[in-house]
Amino acid sequence: MSNPTKLKEYLGEEEWENFQPTDVLSPDTSGKLWNNITKNTGSPVVRYPSFRWMAVAASVLLVAGLSWLFIVKNQKTSITSAATAPIAKNISNTTPQKKAFTLSDGSTVELSPNSTLSYSEGFNSLKRDVLVSGEANFDIAKDVAKPFSVSINSVLITVLGTRFTVNSYEANNVTKVILYEGRVMVTIIDTSFQDKNDYYLTPGDVFIYKKLNQRSARILHLEKDKDDCYVFDNYPLDVVFDQLQVIYNTKITYNKAELGNRSFIGKIDRKDPLDHILKSIALLNNFGFHKQGDSFIISN
């Protein structure tokens, strides 16, 4: 029987299995009957109702839709969680001296007085992001998979492994980045600042962002002339001291407020002793100058 399902309407399964015919047709008669049947009937066509395909398609779409909803929801949850991740650790320096410490990734930080470093609980697990208020020197442990980011007063600094200083106090509305080693990228995250370009620093460069009435950003490069002398073309005096620190790998301490708007024009040969250079600059600007340990102090 080509349609046993239809037969079940008339015979039960048990009756079908136990059925035994009482009469059997001869082979000749059976053959003639079969030939007549095949002449008057075609091969059965199996038709599947269209609603079955629609149901299957709807099921696939439902599964796909739920999967997409799950992915999008997870992404949104992840983004929201990252954006609203609470600051879990604050390190403040309320002493008159600099405070040095090491982060969990091996990076070292030297925090200046009246400065704060903040970072979240997930630091070094997925990313290395910190927030600075005031001034800090960084020596970053290299990790290509996890760039190190420093946010400070509308400026974002991104590095892989390098040594630099960031400086920004609310009172002066100026953010400064001094690069000693490696390479960093600086991005202005202040939405009111029209220039959306990134700034790339090389050793000796000083980046300055001013949040005054007319916002401005620039890089003061450490320039050399054909005689291999360093050239300072009307650079602010604090930038000159910052770049001399890079050139001589020596700490120079000064008070930015005491320097005022003074600038410096001149050429410096690396062969000249640093103390002679600083003494000359101090005399020209009526500053005090002395050496303390391995560093130099400029005072008014």
Residue with tokens 């442990």: 141
Q: Is residue 24 over pLDDT 80?
A: no
Domain 85-221 matches domain 223-300 at the CATH topology level = no
Per-residue pLDDT, 56: 41
- CATH number for the segment(s) 85-221: 2.60.120.1440
Domain boundary assignment for the chain: 85-221, 223-300
% the chain with pLDDT above 70: 70
Per-residue pLDDT, 263: 94
Q: Is residue 156 over pLDDT 70?
A: yes
Which one is the CATH code of 223-300: 3.55.50.30, 3.10.250.10, 3.40.50.300, 1.20.1050.10?
3.55.50.30
Per-residue pLDDT, 26: 54
CA dihedral for 254, 172, 162, 98, sign (positive or negative):
positive
Look up the pTM and report it: 0.64
Query: How far apart (Å, rounded) are the C-alpha atoms in residues 298 and 259?
Result: 9
31-60 tens-digit pLDDT = 554 455 455 544 444 444 443 444 444 443
Per-residue pLDDT, 35: 58
Higher local confidence (pLDDT), 163 or 48: 163
Per-residue pLDDT, 191: 80
Q: Is residue 235 over pLDDT 90?
A: yes
